[in-house]
């Protein structure tokens, strides 16, 4: 029997049984067990892990464990430069795109609001989520840790918060999204790009009061909804400003994208 000593750091401890949190512990390992196999057997999805050291040396997930190995497991680093070390994933994703599972519809809408391509369907099964994420290079967002343990899910986030507004703040902070946000550029329902449209072309599709008081409109070419800066937009703008405040950046001309909901 192979026995290795493990130590998990920071938020990875949330996935462990209480007696194993924030301390070293010994765990029996199967013959020919890999680092990835044992990390997940202990309850931590591999997508939550950024760096693994075995006996002080950086290794990948395929490293076979040997008797007496000391394994240190780290989450994503926000401040520490680990460039010289081996990250456990082959490469970062070129484009930040998400796939939210069936329980995160509210989060999906808020990510679309901030301009992040986010697929969501309440009918997606785990196998579909895994296949789509692998095909499209999407980051899986879920509160199901077993989904993140699936073999071909290479990038994912376990969402800890329960309410959508808290969830989107968590994802923004964890993935440093503020600088990449393009608010009000995607349809909240279709995930398709919005485009500005002349008021004269949509006058018959908007309420009389809106026609009299608003001048800027945008539309989605998929669902054909029309959007303007109504009271709902103002509430969303407040949340967006809170999310983007750490970045303190905008486009060079001071705009953050086309007008978006309220809608018709």
Residue scoring higher pLDDT (240 or 85): 240
For residue 84, the model assigns a pLDDT of: 54
In degrees rounded to 5, what are phi and psi of residue 158? -80, 120
Are the C-beta atoms of 136 and 97 separated by less than 8 Å? yes
Burial (CB < 10 A; 0-12, 13-18, 19+), residue 79, is exposed
For residue 82, the model assigns a pLDDT of: 46
- pLDDT tens-digit series, residues 2-15: 999 999 999 999 99
Residue 51: its H or E element: strand 51-54
For residue 73, the model assigns a pLDDT of: 94
- pLDDT tens-digit series, residues 107-124: 999 999 999 999 999 889
- pLDDT tens-digit series, residues 20-39: 999 999 999 998 999 999 99
- Count of CB atoms situated within 10 Å of the CB of 145: 17
Q: Give me Rg for the CA atoms of the chain.
A: 22
- pLDDT tens-digit series, residues 139-188: 999 999 999 999 889 889 999 999 999 999 999 988 888 888 999 999 99
Helix (DSSP H) and strand (DSSP E) numbers for the chain: 7, 12
Q: Rounded CA gap, 97 and 223, in Å?
A: 21
The structure's pTM equals 0.75
Residue 67, C-beta contacts closer than 8 angstroms, at least 6 positions apart: 1, 2, 3, 4
Q: Order of strands, edge to edge, in the sheet holding 226-227? A: 194-197, 217-220, 226-227
Q: Rounded CA gap, 192 and 238, in Å?
A: 23
Return the CATH number of the domain spanning residue range 2-74: 3.10.20.30
Which of 56-70, 103-117, 153-167, 208-222 is least confident?
A: 208-222
150-179: b (≥16 Cβ within 10 Å) or e:
beebbbbbbbeeeebeebbbebbebbebbe
Q: Rounded CA gap, 134 and 154, in Å?
A: 8
Residue 126, C-beta contacts closer than 8 angstroms, at least 6 positions apart: 101, 144, 146, 147, 150
- Count of CB atoms situated within 10 Å of the CB of 263: 19
């Amino acid at each position: 029997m192979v026995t290795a000593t493990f130590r998990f750091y920071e938020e990875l401890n949330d996935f462990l049984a209480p007696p194993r949190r924030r301390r070293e512990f010994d765990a029996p390992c199967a013959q020919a067990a890999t680092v990835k196999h044992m990390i997940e057997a202990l309850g931590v999805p591999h997508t939550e892990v950024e760096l693994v050291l075995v006996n002080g040396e950086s290794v990948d997930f395929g490293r076979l464990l040997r008797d007496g190995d000391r394994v240190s497991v780290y989450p994503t680093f926000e401040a520490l430069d680990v460039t010289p070390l081996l990250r456990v994933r082959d490469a970062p994703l070129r484009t930040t795109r998400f796939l939210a599972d069936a329980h995160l519809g509210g989060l999906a809408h808020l990510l679309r609001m901030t301009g992040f391509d986010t697929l969501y369907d309440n009918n997606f099964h785990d196998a579909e989520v895994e296949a789509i994420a692998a095909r499209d290079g999407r980051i899986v967002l879920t509160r199901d840790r077993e989904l993140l343990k699936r073999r071909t899910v290479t990038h994912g986030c376990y969402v800890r918060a329960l309410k959508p507004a808290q969830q989107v703040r968590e994802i923004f902070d964890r993935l440093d999204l503020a600088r990449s946000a393009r608010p009000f550029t995607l349809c909240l329902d279709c995930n398709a790009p919005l485009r500005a449209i002349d008021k004269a072309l949509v006058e018959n599709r908007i309420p009389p009061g809106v026609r009299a008081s608003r001048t800027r409109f945008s539309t989605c070419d998929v669902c054909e909804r029309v959007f303007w800066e109504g009271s709902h937009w103002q509430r969303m703008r407040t949340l967006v400003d809170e999310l983007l405040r750490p970045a303190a950046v905008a486009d060079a001309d001071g705009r953050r994208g086309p007008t978006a909901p309220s809608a018709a």
